[in-house]
């Protein structure tokens, strides 16, 4: 299955989180505690003006996340 960045994911399609490209372990752990754990279902709901941030859904919860951060999350289609 093809892996892609969360920022390239199609809207309203469901993906599986496979990797978090963050070297800082503390920060990586922080996002994992927010629900961004490998294997979790993840979905891009919408984007804002200029597509600078995306509204995504993980563990059923909605988050607003900027594009730079989205690029660090690698997903694959379910």
2 binds other proteins (CB under 8 A): no
- Does 49 participate in binding other proteins (rule CB under 8 A)? yes
Considering only residues 11-40, where is the footprint of other proteins by CB under 8 A?
26-27, 29-35, 39
Q: Quote the CA–CA distance of 77 and 1 in Å, as a whole number.
A: 7
Q: How many CB atoms lie within 10 A of CB 58?
A: 21
Q: Are 20 and 36 in contact (CB under 8 A)?
A: yes
CB of 3 to other proteins, least distance (A): 21
Stretch of residues binding other proteins (CB under 8 A), selected from 3-11, 13-21, 51-59: 51-59
Q: Does residue 13 contact residue 71 with C-beta atoms inside 8 Å?
A: no
Q: Rounded CA gap, 40 and 38, in Å? A: 6
For other proteins, the binding residues (CB under 8 A) are 26-27, 29-35, 39, 45-46, 48-53, 55, 57, 59-66, 68-69
């Amino acid at each position: 299955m093809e892996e892609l960045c969360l920022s390239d994911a199609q809207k309203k399609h469901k993906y599986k989180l496979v990797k978090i490209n963050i070297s800082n372990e503390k920060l990586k752990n922080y996002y994992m505690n927010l629900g961004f754990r490998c294997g979790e279902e993840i979905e891009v709901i919408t984007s804002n003006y200029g597509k600078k941030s995306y509204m995504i859904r993980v563990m059923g919860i909605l988050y607003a996340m900027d594009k730079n951060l989205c690029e660090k999350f690698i997903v694959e289609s379910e």
